[in-house]
Amino acid sequence: MCGIVGYVGKRNSQGILIEGLKKLEYRGYDSAGVAVFTSAGLEVRKAKGRLAILESNLEDAPLQGNIGIGHTRWATHGKPSDVNSHPHTDNTSKFSVVHNGIIENYLNLKEELIAEGAHFVSETDTEVIAHLIASVYEGDIVKAVQKAVKRMRGAFALGVLTEYEPEKLVAVRLASPLIIGVGEGENFIGSDIPAILEHTRNVYILNDGEMAVLTQEGVELMTIEGNFISRELFHVDWDITTAEKGGFDHFMLKEIFEQPKAYRDTMGARINDAGTAIELPEVKLSAEQIKGIRNVHIVACGTAYHAGLVGKNVIERLARIPVEADVASEYRYREPIITKETLVIVVSQSGETADTLAALREAKRCGAHVLAITNVVGSSVAREADSVIVTWAGPEIAVASTKAYTSQLIAFYLFGLFLAQTLGTQTPEAIRSIIADMKELPQQVESILARSEEIKQYAEEFAKNTDLFFIGRGIDYAVVLEGSLKLKEISYIHSEAYPAGELKHGTLALIEDGIPVIALAIQEELFEKTVSNIKEVKARGANVLGIVSEGNDELQKSVDHVFTIPKTTGLLTPALSVVPLQLLSYYASLALGHDVDKPRNLAKSVTVE
C-alpha cells in the first residue's frame, strides 16, 4: 500500500525518484522521503504529508547523486510523522532502507538490537531492518541483506543502500510486490510499473523469495539463498497516456467513463464469433473436473468482495452450484471446509492484497483448485493461482475502484456462463440470449454516462446530509453495498446499505424527515416487495431516489426522484445499476470539496493483513 522507487545510473537520481513517486500516489500515502548517495555520503530527506512538501524541501536544498531510493508511506506502525517516514537508517547513517509490508517479529528483533547497543528513533518496524543489516554487515551488502531477511518474518519489499558499497542497490521481495526496470546504463526498482514506465519498458517481476542487485552496468537476479536466476525480460506495452487524466477533472471520473471499453476488452475474444459460447482457455479445469465441483468459495476484500457477492448469485443461478462468499480477512479463521471438490475463486484488483493471498495459499494447501480474477498480469495472485481470468480494465489510478469492479462483474458473468455450458444447466438458447445482452452492456453504460448531469443534481442535494441509506433486494442488495461503500470512501458521508426487507427489523428507527434513501428496484420478481419497503421509509419522511429499469413507470408513484437504466437480463443489471451509484459518490465528494482520487486514510493496494 506504499510506494517504492529506486534508481542507479549516470543521471542525477533526485528528480527520477520524485517523478516515480508521483506515479505511485494513487496507492495512498501519508508521508514521503528519499535517500541519495552524494559526495557527502548517504543523505536522507523526508516529510510528513503530500509529496509536494518533500519536493519543495528538495528544491531549497537539492541532493546530487546518481543512486537513490524513494518511498511514500501509509502508516502501519507509528503515526504519520517526519521521523516515522521512510527511508530509515541505522545509527551510523551508513545504511538506508525503504520497505513496504510488515515485519511481524520486529519487536523481538528490536529488543535484541537494543541489547547490542542500537538506538531507535522511530516507532516503525522498518527501522529494525536498517539496524539488523548494519549489525550483520561484514563487507558484502548482498550477504548482509540475505542474513537479515532470513531472520525477518512477515511481508516485505525492500530497497537497500549502503555508503560502504555506493555503486549497488539491493532489492528484495517477499509477499509484497516489486519490479526491476532495465535501461541502458541505468536500472530501476519500483512497487508498480507506472513508477518507471517513463524510463524503460523492460522489466523483471520479482517472485517471492527473490532479490536483485542493481548497478549501472546491469542487474543480477538471485534467490534469498544466493542462487542466481536467469529470466527473460517482460516488455510492457502499455500506452503511457493511460496513466493520465485524459481531459477529465479526476482519475475517478475518467475511469467511470472508461467502463464501456473495459467491458468490451474483458469480454473480448472470450465470446466466440457466433455469440453462442464462452471460451476460457485460461481456466485450467477439464470438463470432468468442473463436473466434480461440489461447492465454490469466493474470497475477496472491500469492493472485490462486493463483486464476489454478485458472482455468488451468477454462479448459483446459472450453474446451480452452491457458493459461499467470504471476506478474505475472516476466511482462514473460520476454518472453512475446503476439499479437492471445492473451487476457490479469489478476487483482487491489484493481485497483491495480503488477506486474499493468504486465503489463496490456504485453499491450495487444502487441495482446492484456485481461480484468480485480477486486473494485473504477473501479480502474486495471478502467479500463484491455478487459473487466472484477467480483467482488462487497464491501469486504475483513483483509490476508489470503479472500472476494476465492473470488469470483475464481467469476469463472473463469463465464468458463470462457462460453467453452465459445461454442466448443461442452461439451454444453448438461454446462454445465447445472455451473451447477446452482455454485448449490449457497453453501449447501455454509455447511455447512462450521457445523463451524468441528472445524477450530479441528486448528489449535490444529498451531499447536504450527514447520513444516507441504500436499500435493495436480491442481487440489487449486492449492488447497494458497493454504492454505499463508494459514498463513504470518497465523500465521508455516513451511509449504510440494507436488504430492503430487513428495514422493519430495526433499521426503520433511523429513518426521519428528509433523510436520503437510494432504492434499487431493478429485479422484476421482487419489484412489488421492494415498493412496499420504499413506502415504509416514505411514510417516515425519507427523501427517496429510486433506480429502476426503463419502461417501468410504477415506481414514480412511490418515490421523490427516479433514475432509469436500460433494460437487460436480471443477472446483468449490476453492471448497469452500479454506474449511477458511482457517479453519485463522485459528485457528492466533489460538492463537498474533497480529494476525490486520494481519499483520506485509504490506499489503493492493501499489501498487509
Per-residue pLDDT of 511-532, as tens digits, reads 778 899 999 999 888 888 888 8
- CB-based contact 470:498 (threshold 8 Å): yes
Residue 102, pLDDT above cutoff 90: no
Three-state SS across 19-41? Answer: HHHHHCHHHCCCEEEEEEEECCE
Instruction: Provide the 8-state DSSP code for 77.
Output: S
For 32-82, write each residue's pLDDT tens digit: 999 999 999 999 999 999 999 999 999 999 999 999 999 999 777 788 899
Residue 493, pLDDT above cutoff 80: yes
Q: What is the pLDDT of residue 421?
A: 97
Q: What is the pLDDT of residue 5?
A: 98
Continuous H helices in 96-250 = 106-115, 126-136, 141-150
Residue 395, pLDDT above cutoff 90: no
- CB-based contact 16:67 (threshold 8 Å): no
Give me the phi and psi of 21, to 5 degrees please: -65, -35
Confidence of residue 245 (pLDDT cuts 50, 70, 90): low
Residue 492, pLDDT above cutoff 90: yes
pLDDT top residue among 239 and 321: 321
Continuous H helices in 24-169 = 51-60, 106-115, 126-136, 141-150
Tell me how far apart the alpha carbons of residues 513 and 219 are, in angstroms, rounded to a whole number.
66
Q: What is the pLDDT of residue 417?
A: 98
Tell me how far apart the alpha carbons of residues 516 and 537 are, in angstroms, rounded to a whole number.
10
Which of 206-210, 216-220, 245-249 is predicted most confidently?
216-220
What region does 493 belong to: left with phi over 0, alpha with psi -120 to 50, or beta?
beta
Where in the sequence of the chain do the CATH 3.40.50.10490 domains occur? 245-449, 452-591
Secondary structure of residue 548 in the 3-state scheme: strand
- Omega before 194 cis (within 30°)? no
Q: Following DSSP, what letter does each residue of 268-304 receive, concatenated?
A: GGGB-TTSS-B--TTS---HHHHHT--EEEEEE-HHH
Which residues on adjacent β-strands are paired with residue 47? 32
Give the torsion sign (CA, 300, 306, 307, 309). positive
Continuous H helices in 368-474 = 380-384, 403-423, 428-449, 452-462
From first CA to last CA, the distance across the chain in angstroms is 11
In whole angstroms, how far apart are CA 334 and each of 101, 135, 331? Answer: 25, 41, 6
220-246 average pLDDT score? 82
Q: Architecture of domain 3-237 in CATH?
A: 4-Layer Sandwich (3.60)
Q: Please, which residues have CB within 8 angstroms of residue 142's CB and are 6 or more apart in sequence?
A: 168, 170, 211, 213, 226
Strand order from edge to edge, sheet including 210-214: 88-89, 95-103, 154-162, 169-174, 210-214, 219-223, 228-229
CATH number of 452-591: 3.40.50.10490
What mean pLDDT is reported for the chain?
92
Question: Which amino acid, residue 324?
Answer: E
Share of the chain above pLDDT 90, in %: 75
From 386, 368, 390, select the one nearest 378 (Cα to Cα).
Answer: 390
User: Which member of 2, 48, 403, 486 is catalytic?
Assistant: 2
User: Which member of 312, 538, 567, 604 is catalytic?
Assistant: 604
Tell me how far apart the alpha carbons of residues 68 and 121 are, in angstroms, rounded to a whole number.
22
Annotated active-site residue 2? The verdict is yes
Q: What is the pLDDT of residue 385?
A: 96
Which residues on adjacent β-strands are paired with residue 154? 103
Q: Which CATH number applies to 245-449: 3.10.20.600, 3.40.50.2000, 3.40.50.10490, 3.40.50.410?
A: 3.40.50.10490
328-339 average pLDDT score? 92
Confidence of residue 241 (pLDDT cuts 50, 70, 90): low
Residue 114, pLDDT above cutoff 70: yes
Confidence of residue 605 (pLDDT cuts 50, 70, 90): low
pTM over 0.85: no
Annotated active-site residue 604? The verdict is yes
